[in-house]
Amino acid sequence: MNWHTLSIMRLEVLLTLLVLWELVADLSVKENKQLVVNLTILFFGIITLSGFIPSANATLFGSMYISDELRFLLKNILNLSTLIILMQSTGWLKKPENLSKTGAFYLLIFSTLIGMDFMISAGDFLMLYLGLELATLPLTILAAFDKKVRRSAEAGIKLMMSSAVSSAVMLFGLSLIYGVYGTLHFSEIALLRDTSTLSVLALVFFMAGFGF
C-alpha cells in the first residue's frame, strides 16, 4: 500500500485513525469528557471536508475496491448526515449519566460508517459482504445502547438474530454465485449473463439475505 492508495482510500483510512484515537482518548481521559466530544466532532468535520477534495478514478486490490466521483458523492452524503447526527447527540452525551458512554457511542458510529464506505466502494460480492457485516455488527450494539430502555434491548436482540440468519443465507447465495460464475466481481458476472436456474436461485438467496 503506497501513498496513492492511501489518498484514494483516505476516508476509510482517516476514519480508522479516528476510531483508534477515540479508543485511546476514552481510556486516557477520565474527567473532561466534553473536550473529547468537541475534538471528535472537529476531527470528523475535517474528515468530511477531505471527502470534497478531487480524486482520480481508481480500482484497487484486484478490482475489489472501486473509487469514482459517484461513490465519493455518496460517501460525502453519508459523512454530512453523520456529522449532523453527531452534532444533535451532543446534548444527550452532556448528561451526567451518559458522559461515560461517549467513547463507545463514537466507536460504534464510526465503525458503522467505515463499513458503509466499503459497501459503496465494493467491486465484488466479497467486499460488499465484508462492508455489510462491518456496518451491521456495530449497529446491532448501537440499537441496544440505552440499557435503561427495554425497547432498546429488544431492538438489539432482534437485529442480532435477523442479521445472523441473513448472513447465513447470503453466504449460501455467494457460494452458489461463485460456483456458477467462477468469480465474485460484478463486472465479470455482468458479462457472463448466465440465466440458468441455479444462477437465478443463487441471486435469489443473496438478495433474500441482503434484504434482511
- Higher pLDDT residue, 210 or 46? 46
What is the model's pLDDT at position 110? 93
Range of weakest confidence among 68-72, 99-103, 207-211:
207-211
Encode pLDDT of 131-172 as tens digits.
988 888 888 888 877 777 777 777 778 878 888 888 888 888
pTM: 0.87
What is the model's pLDDT at position 211? 66
CA 147 to each of CA 34, 114, 129, 158: distance values in angstroms, whole numbers, following the listed order: 22, 25, 29, 15
What is the model's pLDDT at position 84? 93
Encode pLDDT of 2-51 as tens digits.
677 778 888 999 999 999 988 888 777 777 777 888 888 999 999 999 88
What is the model's pLDDT at position 181? 83
DSSP structure string for 90-133: HHHHTSGGGGGGHHHHHHHHHHHHHHHHHHHTB-BHHHHHHHHH
Residue 144, SS3? coil
Query: CA-to-CA distance for 14 and 44, rounded, in angstroms?
Result: 9
State the pLDDT confidence band at 80, using cuts at 50, 70 and 90.
very high
